[in-house]
Structure 1
Amino acid sequence: MRWIIIIYLVCIGHTFGQSEEIAKDYFLRGEFEKALVSYEKLNEKNPRNRNYITKIVEIHQQLEQYNEAEEVLLVEINKFRQPILLVELGFNHSLKGEDLKAKEYYDQAMEILNENPSYAYGIAQSFERHSLLDQAIGVYERAMELNPKLNFNINLARIYGEQGNIEKMFDGYMNFIGQNRTYINNAKRSISGFISEDGQSDNNVLLRKILLKKIQSQPDILWNELLSWLFVQQRDYNKAFSQERAIYKRQKESLQRMVDLAIITINEDRRDVAKSILNYIIENSQNIEVILEAHEYLLDIETKTLESKDYYKIDDAYNDLFNEFGRYNQTLDLQIAYAHFLAFYMDNTEKATSFLKESLNLRLSKLEDGKVKLELGDILAFQEKFNEALIYYTQVQRNIKNSTLAQEARFKVAKTSYYKGDFDWAESQLKILKSSTSQLIANDALDLKLLISDNKFEDSSQTALKTYSKADLLAFQNRTDEAILKLDDLLENHKGETIEDQALLMQAKLYESKLQFDKAALNYQKIIVSYSDDILADDALFNLAEIYSKHLGQPEKAKPLYERIIFDHPDSIYFVEARKTFRALRGDAIN
């Protein structure tokens, strides 16, 4: 019997849900008479659901049946004298042009608020729904006066933003997160839509002044953190660094925020600032892991900065660190980085391999062992000892199954197979990786799979794809000039084939790595002209725009390229950044 009742209730609930969906569908399609009948039936069955009454009133108003709407509301008010209903009745009078009558009911709702501030949110929401924003502001402010424990600053900030009152909006967010620090990231997301990279824009200047005033009147590192964040949005990293130093001096708990800032500056290729930050971390941290991490980043920057004749300085620096901190598990990441430097920059693969095999003699966890073997595999692939490299990658896959490192190892198996021209096996591995839990690996796997599948049938000998994979290998081996020449050969001998746009893109990126921006720009232009409807068009548009705006000092040429991404490629991964940069270049006011 009990199961019969449960099944009956489930069927009734399902039917009821379907009826509500039908009513919503009628309303959205503008079939208001049918929607009215549906909602009236729903209200009869469930009179406690206030949403149905609200919809019935709204439908009458859409049909300009204001008297009928008033009758419905008066019946409900006689049953339940709720302030929300009074607001709805007032709005109905305003639709009839009876503004004085409307104010009378709004005032009645406010009287109930004075008696019970807990009604504030519902009343304000009703006002907001009808775009009566000043009234909504009055409700929130009055409620906080009556009960200081209530905090509607976030609601006020949002309304002020809609009104374009930026100063009050910023104040609202600051007042709210001053009492609710857990909301800081949400506040940043909301504020970011009103600021730009231009530190001199009105909104940026306004927010900076508000934060500086907070720092002076309410000494709290929260405001320094927000000011540092603002400087990062403006790409003013030296000023952000200054704020981070102030934070650390007052609260010497962790330098992780400083490490995060260093990583941002490295990614933005601001090596000068990055080096200053990393040296500060080394000088001030008491945490050996943090110190070693900073040294590793610093050495990586120096490696990319120095000419090859000065690489001995990097070699000495690594060995000084091993003399100071030893070769233990704690310095394993540094050991792996050193082996990579020896192989890929000093071309001393024998020493690199020997060094890493010594690292394997340490008491390593499976994860640590996997990291070492991945690098050993990379060094073997660098030497084009592909079968030996595959052995190490496969060991990692088997030893730490289902981990991100195992997925990375599988991708390296695919990439190595691709380097050696075994495209079928590479493609089979890449199909598995499309569902990788690591989005980065999944994206890389998809890109490589598409490259292979789009080009492996171009000719029976797969000459073009093999030439491309050889160029890719040369780039992996840091033999950039040779890779560029190999791509020249491909572009000369395989004109018009499907791989041409891929070859142009890879070559353009190699030119960029050599700071040959004019040559890179020519390649991107060729893709835009000849392959405007293909998958790489947005890559070419964005990269060319970035070259014009950031390297060649020609922002006017960049603007139409960003604009094309916005209008022609709305699904592009570059869409958000393109829109933001385009608006900044055009000089739009951010609000």
Structure 2
Amino acid sequence: MRFLLTITFLISCVAFAQDDILAKEYFKKGEFEKALSSFQRLHDANPGNVSYLVQLVKTHQQLEQYDESESLILNQLKRINYPSLYVELGYNYQLKDDITNANINYNKALESLNINARYVFSVAQSFVDHSLLDLAITAYENAMTLAPDLNFDMQLAQIYGEQGDIEKMFTAYVQFVKFNPSYLNNIKRVISDFISENSTNENNATLRKILLKKIQEEPDLLWNEMLSWLFIQQKDFRKAFMQEKAIFNRQPESLDRIEELASIAVNENENEIANEIFHYLIDTAQDIDTKLDAHYNLLQLELTYGHEVDYNNIQQKFLTLFDEYGKFSQTLQLQIAYGHFLAFYMNEPDKATSFLKETLLLQLSTFQQAQVKIELGDILVLQEKFNEALIYYTQIQRNLKNSTISQDARFRVAKTSYYKGDFQWAESQLKILKSSTSQLIANDALDLKLLISDNKYDDSLQVALKLYAKADLLAFQNKNDEAIVLLDKILEEHKTETIIPQALLKQAQLFVKKQEFEKADNNYNNIIKNYSDSILIDDAIFSLAELYANKLDQPEKAKELYEQIIFNHADSIYFVDSRKSFRALRGDAIN
């Protein structure tokens, strides 16, 4: 008997749920007579369920049966005290153009908060559902006055946003963060939809004013943090740095936030302020690791972005650091960087190799040894000692199976084999790496595999592919002029082969590196105009857009190209960056 009762109960529950879905579907489709019948059955079966009553009322209203709606609401109010029903009743009067009775009932709903402020949850939501936003604001504000432990700044901010009152919206969000700091990142994401990278934007100025006023009237590091974030969105890194220093001075537990700011500045090519921040870290940090990281980053900045770089001076800086901090595991990053510097900048690969082999004699973990061996392998590739390089890379794969650095080593094995012209072995390694846990390695592996597979069948001797691999190696060896000449040979002698757009793209990248921007412009346009069906078309469009935006000061042309990616290449890896850059150039919100 119990089993039969259970089965009957389950069947009735399923049927009830189906009626609910069907009724809502009828309403959604505008089939209000059918919806009315369904909601009436649901309401009759559950007379205490207010949501079914409200749906039934709305359906009557759609059919302009206002008296029936009024009767339903009044009968329900006789049975239960549910103040939001006064909002429903008021709205029903409003639909009948009886504004006097509408306001009487709206006020009854508001007055119910004096009895219990928590009625606001349903009352305010009912006002919002009927777009009675001013009344919803009044309800939330009254409730917070009556019960200070309640906070509805988030709801108020959303309403102000709907009304287009940006200042009140920002103020409410900022107040909510004070009430609940754990929501800070969520609030930042919401606010970012209303601000721009342009510091003169009205909304940016409004938020800045609110936060500065908060700092003056109610000092709290939260406001400094939000102000720093705003400055970062505007790329005002110097102002962000000032805020971060203020935060650190009052709360000197960690320099992590300032380190992160330095990293962001480097990524945005704001090298002058990045340089200042790294010097500040060196002067301020108490721990060696932070100081060493800052020294390392300063040297990388000077090598990568410095004008008329004095290599002898940089070498002396490395040696001074080793004198000051020593050569042990803690300075490993600097030691590897010095080895790379000797080989790739000072053209002293043998000296670099000897130095790094001494580093390997230190007390290092297996992972740290792998880091050194990666660099040693790269230096051997630089010298075209491919077989020796492969030994180091293979050792890493054997000692650290399935790790990211092992996958990196496998990719270098493939790249080295490709440089040697052993395309079959390279391709076999790249197939494995397509599913790498590192997205960067997986993408690089896929690009190289496509390069090989798309061009290995053009001729049995693979002449063009071998020439391209040699040019690629020359670029790796910083022999950019020689690489460009070799790529010219491919463009002249293999005009009908599929490798042409790849050669044009590689050559354009080298032109950019040499700051020969007009030549790069020509190459990118050549790909766009003549090889629109190439898999490299989105690379060319995006690279040319970046060139126009960042080097040639032609923002309108850049916008057109970003727009091409957005509308014609939605599956491109450049889609997100293109959309962000396009909206920034147009002056839209950041996200």
TM-score after normalising by structure 1? 0.88
- Please identify, of 339-348 and 525-534, the stretch whose mean Cα deviation from structure 2 is larger: 525-534
Cα shift at 1:325:
0.8
1:588/1:306 CA distance change after superposition, 3 Å: closer
The residue correspondences of 1:189-588 to structure 2 (distance < 5 A) are: 189-305=189-305, 310-495=310-495, 497-532=497-532, 534-586=534-586
Cα shift at 1:386:
3.0
Cα shift at 1:251:
2.4
Give the corresponding residue for 2:146. Answer: 146
Contact 2:193 2:589 in 1 (8 A): no
Cα shift at 1:43:
6.2
Cα shift at 1:378:
2.1
SS at the partner of 2:273? helix
Q: Distance in 2 between matches of 1:343 and 1:12?
A: 79
Q: Distance in 1 between matches of 2:141 and 2:42?
A: 36
Higher-Rg structure is: 2
Paired AA for residue 250 in structure 2: R
Contact 2:580 2:590 in 1 (8 A): no
Cα shift at 1:194:
1.5
- Please identify, of 331-340 and 218-227, the stretch whose mean Cα deviation from structure 2 is larger: 218-227
SS at the partner of 1:194? coil
Cα shift at 1:356:
2.0
1:25/1:385 CA distance change after superposition, 3 Å: farther
SS at the partner of 1:413? helix
Q: Distance in 2 between matches of 1:201 and 1:337?
A: 42
After superposition, the C-alpha distances for 1:240-269 in whole angstroms (9 at most, x for unaligned) are 222222222222222222211111121122
Cα shift at 1:424:
4.0
SS at the partner of 2:369? helix
Contact 1:203 1:590 in 2 (8 A): no
1:31/1:451 CA distance change after superposition, 3 Å: farther
After superposition, the C-alpha distances for 1:31-73 in whole angstroms (9 at most, x for unaligned) are 5555566666666777776555554544554555555555554
Paired AA for residue 377 in structure 1: G
Q: Distance in 1 between matches of 2:533 and 2:77?
A: 60
1:281/1:13 CA distance change after superposition, 3 Å: farther
Contact 2:197 2:587 in 1 (8 A): no
- Please identify, of 432-441 and 356-365, the stretch whose mean Cα deviation from structure 2 is larger: 432-441
Contact 1:93 1:101 in 2 (8 A): yes
Contact 1:232 1:240 in 2 (8 A): yes
Cα shift at 1:560:
2.6
- Please identify, of 301-310 and 37-46, the stretch whose mean Cα deviation from structure 2 is larger: 37-46
Cα shift at 1:568:
3.2
Q: Are 1:88 and 2:88 matched, yes or no?
A: yes
1:193/1:312 CA distance change after superposition, 3 Å: same
Q: Distance in 2 between matches of 1:67 and 1:467?
A: 86
After superposition, the C-alpha distances for 1:433-463 in whole angstroms (9 at most, x for unaligned) are 3443333333333333343444344444444
SS at the partner of 1:253? coil
Tell me how large the CA RMSD over aligned residues is.
3.4
SS at the partner of 1:506? helix
SS at the partner of 1:266? helix
Contact 1:87 1:106 in 2 (8 A): yes
Q: Distance in 1 between matches of 2:313 and 2:454?
A: 45
Q: Distance in 1 between matches of 2:19 and 2:447?
A: 46
Contact 2:196 2:590 in 1 (8 A): yes
Contact 1:26 1:32 in 2 (8 A): yes
Give the corresponding residue for 1:109. Answer: 109
After superposition, the C-alpha distances for 1:375-400 in whole angstroms (9 at most, x for unaligned) are 22222232333333333333323323
Paired AA for residue 361 in structure 1: L
Q: Distance in 1 between matches of 2:16 and 2:461?
A: 64
1:39/1:274 CA distance change after superposition, 3 Å: same
1:76/1:330 CA distance change after superposition, 3 Å: farther
1:255/1:60 CA distance change after superposition, 3 Å: same
Q: Distance in 1 between matches of 2:72 and 2:498?
A: 67
Q: Distance in 1 between matches of 2:391 and 2:18?
A: 58
Contact 1:508 1:521 in 2 (8 A): yes
Q: Distance in 2 between matches of 1:65 and 1:243?
A: 61
1:421/1:46 CA distance change after superposition, 3 Å: farther
1:361/1:452 CA distance change after superposition, 3 Å: same
- Please identify, of 305-314 and 41-50, the stretch whose mean Cα deviation from structure 2 is larger: 41-50
- Please identify, of 70-79 and 536-545, the stretch whose mean Cα deviation from structure 2 is larger: 70-79
After superposition, the C-alpha distances for 1:99-152 in whole angstroms (9 at most, x for unaligned) are 444333332322222322223233333332333322222222111111112222
Cα shift at 1:288:
0.5
Cα shift at 1:86:
3.5
Paired AA for residue 102 in structure 2: A
Q: Distance in 1 between matches of 2:95 and 2:335?
A: 75
Cα shift at 1:330:
0.8
